[in-house]
Structure 1
Amino acid sequence: MVRKIKDIMTDEIETVKPTDSAHDIALKMKRHDTGFMPVVEGKKLLGVVTDRDLVIRGMAEKKEGTATAEQLMSRDIKTVEPETSVDEAAKIMARGQIRRLPVVENGELIGVVSIGDMAVRHIFESEAGEALSEISESDKTNAVK
């Protein structure tokens, strides 16, 4: 049986609006223990703000007090549709060293799948296992730099 992303994705997602401040985003990340916030207008996915975006585009550019999600967000993000196979999503994640992948339907955010979703559900078959391994190795290498 080919597993689909819709079977393993998280569909209860915390989001931010384009006008939310960096401070509000950071508080929401802390409250929900995450480093990833999709930016939506209505349900339309515009981009994502990561903890790294807050540091690089906010603090390092001395905008942390005034920046909005729209100014901080990464816009060129990979997404998948709910019918995408888990193996295909894992390939996308491995190629792009992506830990979280938004799931969209007709441009609207309906879920997020993470490496953790795949691991928790014991989907270590083929590419899913490779994706987890490659991303973990990349983290170790980057931590040494």
Structure 2
Amino acid sequence: MKVSDRMTRTVRLAGPDDTLQQAARSMAECDAGALPVTDGERLLGMVTDRDIVLRGVAEGKGPDTRLREVMTPEVKYCFEDEDLDHVARNMGEQRLRRLPVLNREKRLVGILSLGDIALGVAPMPAGAALAGISQPGGIPSQTGAPRP
């Protein structure tokens, strides 16, 4: 199965000069936790709800802050013609819950989330990705104590 068989093709986009408030509102409207940041068809980065909280609100930045200040510019991505099992394993190894999907001309054509993978008929790709994403790491727990 190819990535194109499971990816979501309709993706809400943001621009680097959009504000945190615009991005948060857009995420709420489409029930998404991340938006690709583009300048037309070229992918510049991703902004997640986590970016807005940790790089925006926690740093004292206001709702009019531009996304370029909080977005993640180093974006991992996959191609629409790649094997879904392979991409799911990579997502697990890199602890990614979603990936922008590009065509071979490097134009954004969709997004692949863990949920998209899980909706497939075979549970193995989603299980492999989730197992990798869920590995304990250096991120503290909600209690503030380090994970064992």
TM-score, with length taken from structure 2: 0.86
Q: What is the count of residue pairs matched by the alignment?
A: 141
Find the counterpart in structure 1 of residue 14 from structure 2.
Answer: 16
Tell me, yes or no, if the aligned pair for 1:86 and 1:128 is still in contact at 8 Å: no
Which of 83-92 and 59-68 deviates more?
Answer: 59-68
Match of 1:47, SS? strand
Cα pair distance change 1:138/1:27, threshold 3 Å = farther
Question: Within the alignment, does 1:109 sit opposite 2:108 as a pair?
Answer: yes
Gaps of 5+ in 2: none
Find the counterpart in structure 1 of residue 47 from structure 2.
Answer: 49
Which of 44-53 and 68-77 deviates more?
Answer: 68-77
Tell me, yes or no, if the aligned pair for 2:94 and 2:132 is still in contact at 8 Å: no
Find the counterpart in structure 2 of residue 119 from structure 1.
Answer: 118
Task: Measure the CA separation in 2 of the matches of 1:50 and 1:88.
Answer: 24
Task: Measure the CA separation in 2 of the matches of 1:138 and 1:67.
Answer: 32
Matched to 1:107, the amino acid is K
Matched to 1:122, the amino acid is V
Tell me, yes or no, if the aligned pair for 2:43 and 2:108 is still in contact at 8 Å: yes
Tell me, yes or no, if the aligned pair for 1:17 and 1:41 is still in contact at 8 Å: yes
Query: Once the two structures are superposed, what CA deviation does each residue of 1:107-140 show, in whole Å capped at 9, x if it has no partner?
Result: 2211101110111113323x4421123324559x
How far residue 92 of structure 1 moved from its aligned partner, in angstroms, is 1.4
Gaps of 5+ in 1: none
Q: CA RMSD in A?
A: 1.9
Between structures 1 and 2, the one with greater helix share: 1
Task: Measure the CA separation in 1 of the matches of 2:76 and 2:141.
Answer: 21
